[in-house]
Amino acid sequence: MKARAMVLEEFNKPLVMREFELKLPKDGELLVKIEAAGVCGSDAHIFKGNDPRAKLPMILGHEGVGRVEAISGNWEDIYGYELKEGDLIIWDRGVTCGKCYYCTVKKEPYLCQDRWTYGISVGCNQPPYLRGCYSEYIYLVQNTKVLKIESNIEPEVLVSASCSGATCAHAFDTISPDIGDTVLIQGPGPIGLYAILFAKKYGAQNIIVIGGTKERLNMCKEFGATIVLDRNLTTLEQRKEIIMDITKGKGVDLAIEAVGHPSAVSEGIKLVRNGGNYLSLGFGDPNGTVTIDCYYDITRKNLRYQGIWVSDTKHLYMAANLVLNNKELFKKMITNKYKLSEATQALMDMANRSTVKSVLIP
């Protein structure tokens, strides 16, 4: 039996469909039939050659939901449930060593020095080849953390929990708003949508979103944003005036940057109140440097600037449960579905921001 997968052989060149020999898993691995693969912003960066972790040739796709096809050894999910063939699962895209300083002493496995990621930092030129989700099947290594999904949900609705959702959960797990706080979210993409719902769950009173795409901002309103500000219809000064007005001249308690552009950071940091928090998630790839006035914008304001890099299993758990409890909303987030063979088009559409969330259905 063969499995088809979309392979990135050269940067900036269309993905190529290749067939791989499908064998029963060995060495304690899990063979999973992919039901949905999320197209993430990082995939477009990898495609262009902007992610130093990429190893060609490779199968893209780090967001996946699938069904257990075959099992080698004993597999339990994070709840201790023994996996069986046919179970619907989602898994932590990052595999960590569990032994290093970050994994053990600091309990920050997202910083593990040996962390590698399905569909990002592993090539497809060594058996068992299938280590990315733009594929009909994937093999998961033994220490992959898996969540069995008991609830009835369409796989494509859940798939973004494994990257966008988990990364956003990492932000809220690091610093969360207090009840009644004002939260600013920069960037109305999938991370921004998760941020709106997390902010709501933590009890934020005002949830303000700044973005540049009308359709995405409208969706933010559906998700519960109290105010959306279109960058193309307002000036920097106007946005500041509106936000200062809402916060009685103080600025927001917490800002979440999910844009990855220096101009967003320059703007956002000035909109945070004294003693407030600025969380930067957006820079998934190098995208310029930001000039910050450390004295006026950080020290004198007693402001906390926190970077957020990827996520761990706790964050996947948080994001997956957020989706399972808000299925109808997250269903709206899926604006485009593609066949496996249309993966290159899906990447182009994602890069042009003409979609909110795209999913491949192999």
Per CB under 5 A, residues contacting Zn ion are 40, 42, 96-97, 100, 103, 112, 163
Phi and psi at residue 252, to the nearest 5°? -80, 155
Compute the half-sphere exposure of residue 255: CA atoms within 13 Å on the CB side of its CA: 27
Residue closer to Zn ion (CB basis): 78 or 97: 97
Task: Report, in Å, the least distance between residue 113 CB and Zn ion.
Answer: 6
Q: How far apart are CA 33 and CA 4, in angstroms?
A: 11
Give 177's DSSP letter.
P
Task: Report, in Å, the least distance between residue 111 CB and Zn ion.
Answer: 8
End-to-end CA, the chain: 16
Task: Report, in Å, the least distance between residue 174 CB and Zn ion.
Answer: 18
Q: Which residues of 314-332 are buried (b: 16+ CB within 10 A; e: fewer)?
A: bbbbbbbebbbebeebbee
Centre a 10 Å sphere on the Cβ of residue 84 and count the other Cβ atoms it contains: 10
Task: Report, in Å, the least distance between residue 148 CB and Zn ion.
Answer: 22
Task: Report, in Å, the least distance between residue 162 CB and Zn ion.
Answer: 8
| Residue-by-residue DSSP string for 28-64 | T-EEEEEEEEEE-HHHHHHHTT--TT--SSEE---EE
Residue closer to Zn ion (CB basis): 25 or 284: 284
Residue closer to Zn ion (CB basis): 122 or 246: 122
Residue closer to Zn ion (CB basis): 59 or 269: 59
| Residue-by-residue DSSP string for 76-119 | B-TT-PBP-TT-EEEE-SEE--SSSHHHHTS--GGG-TT-EETT
Residue closer to Zn ion (CB basis): 93 or 273: 93
Task: Report, in Å, the least distance between residue 184 CB and Zn ion.
Answer: 22
Residue closer to Zn ion (CB basis): 163 or 303: 163
Residue closer to Zn ion (CB basis): 22 or 308: 308
The answer to whether the beta carbons of residues 60 and 280 sit under 8 Å apart is no
Joined tokens for residue 342 = 């249309």
Q: How far apart are CA 31 and CA 71, in angstroms?
A: 6
Task: Report, in Å, the least distance between residue 161 CB and Zn ion.
Answer: 11
Residue with tokens 């109305």: 188
Residue closer to Zn ion (CB basis): 247 or 313: 313
